[in-house]
């Protein structure tokens, strides 16, 4: 890993070293709240139980999920699916797979679960999964087998589920939009990732980390942050969380062209 990483963070070892690839990213967790979450993650990562990452948008849910997958030493793939993007008509086949039939010229499909065999299925915005698919997913998790569309025989499946949500799933259960049993299962493995404004100790290490990532990628000298810039970063509430911080630092680096970063270089939208 490059030498721009602030001390105390967790670095990934991965064959994909492209600095912009999420696979090559380090997890900057310096604030005591983040360190506490990290300790919890280290304990839970190795198990096979489903986990739920609850956090606002842009906080690093997927990055954390990838970290858990790596720590778990599962040998299969990490498969990330945004539940809102599942097709309305073919969501069941996309998720659970389907068998081929010559009758209607349909080919077989492993489905997301089949693709994650031996690995981890990351379901982002799990509340967007239609209720009927939630119930089927629960069956799969409880019995360790999946019934593909068009088949009458279940096949064994070994997949660890990591779900993420920016919504309060308890409210969705009360509104009749989320299955109560799946909720109970996920809630037992709840990981709360605080918003960036609740982890002030992460802001400057993350800012330096992103400057390092983009300076390396753009082949620019690594600039320092002026004191005013640091204060501006610490004072902002970051409604878009870490992704917003990353975008602000990327832009500031381009504007400063390697010189020290001034507060005026930060495109912070006042809230
Ligand atoms: N702790 C962290 N250390 C380093 N980089 C981070 C950290 N948290 C987030 N990032 C970076 O911030 C960006 C957003 O992270 P990610 O995509 O994991 O968030 P998300 O919660 O899944 O977002 P969304 O709600 O939009 O799906 C990514 O570029 C990620 O690498
Ligand atoms: Mg995400």
From the CA of 56, which ligand is nearest?
1
Q: Split the chain (271 residues) into runs of 10 and give each run's mean pLDDT.
A: 45 45 74 96 94 97 96 94 88 90 73 95 97 96 92 93 97 97 97 97 97 92 95 97 97 88 90 64
Q: Are residues 158 and 229 in the same domain?
A: no
Best residue for ligand 1 mutational test, from 14, 16, 60, 207 (most atoms within 8 Å of Cβ): 60
Q: Are residues 259 and 171 in the same domain?
A: no
Q: Are residues 45 and 125 in the same domain?
A: yes
> Which of 172, 192, 212 is where one domain is finished?
192
Total domains present in the chain:
2
Per-residue pLDDT at 149: 87
> Which of 192, 211, 229 is where one domain is finished?
192
Q: Are residues 240 and 136 in the same domain?
A: no
Per-residue pLDDT at 21: 52
Residues lining ligand 1, CB < 6 A? 22, 25-29, 55, 57-63, 124, 166, 206, 209, 242-243, 246
Per-residue pLDDT at 271: 64
Range of the domain at 93: 32-192
Per-residue pLDDT at 239: 96
DSSP string, the chain: --TTSPTT-B----S---TT-GGG--B---SHHHHHHHHHHHHHHTS-S-EEEE--TTSSHHHHHHHHHHHHT--S-EEEEEGGGS-TTTHHHHHH-B--BTTTTBPPB-HHHHHTTTSEEEEETGGGS-HHHHHHHHHHHHHTEE--BT-SS-EE---EEEEEESS-HHHHHHTT-S-HHHHHHHHTTEEE---GGG-HHHHHHHHHHHHHHHHHHHT---PPBPHHHHHHHHH---TTHHHHHHHHHHHHHHHHTTSPBPGGG--PPP-
92 found inside a domain? yes
Q: Are residues 176 and 205 in the same domain?
A: no
> Which of 131, 157, 192 is where one domain is finished?
192
């Amino acid at each position: 890993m490059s030498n721009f990483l602030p001390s105390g963070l967790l670095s990934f070892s991965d064959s994909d070293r492209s600095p912009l690839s999420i696979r090559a990213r380090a997890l900057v967790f310096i604030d005591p709240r983040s360190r506490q979450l990290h300790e919890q993650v280290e304990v839970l990562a190795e198990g096979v139980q489903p986990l739920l990452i609850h956090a606002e948008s842009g906080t690093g849910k997927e990055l954390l999920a990838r970290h858990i997958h790596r720590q778990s030493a599962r040998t299969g793939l990490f498969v990330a699916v945004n539940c809102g993007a599942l097709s309305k008509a073919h969501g069941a086949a996309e998720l659970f797979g389907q068998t081929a039939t010559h009758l209607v010229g349909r080919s077989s499909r492993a489905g997301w679960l089949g693709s994650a065999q031996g690995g981890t299925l990351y379901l982002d915005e799990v509340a967007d999964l239609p209720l009927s698919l939630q119930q089927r997913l629960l069956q799969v998790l409880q019995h360790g087998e999946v019934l593909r569309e068009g088949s009458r025989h279940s096949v064994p499946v070994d997949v660890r589920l990591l779900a993420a949500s920016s919504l309060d799933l308890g409210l969705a259960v009360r509104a009749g939009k989320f299955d109560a049993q799946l909720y109970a299962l996920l809630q037992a493995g709840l990981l709360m990732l605080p918003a960036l404004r609740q982890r002030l100790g992460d802001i400057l290490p993350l800012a330096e980390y992103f400057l390092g990532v983009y300076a390396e990628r753009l082949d620019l000298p690594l600039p320092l942050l002026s004191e005013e810039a640091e204060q501006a970063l610490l004072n902002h509430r970051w409604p878009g969380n870490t992704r917003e911080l990353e975008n602000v630092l990327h832009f500031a680096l381009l504007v400063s062209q390697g010189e020290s970063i001034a507060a005026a270089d930060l495109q912070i939208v006042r809230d």
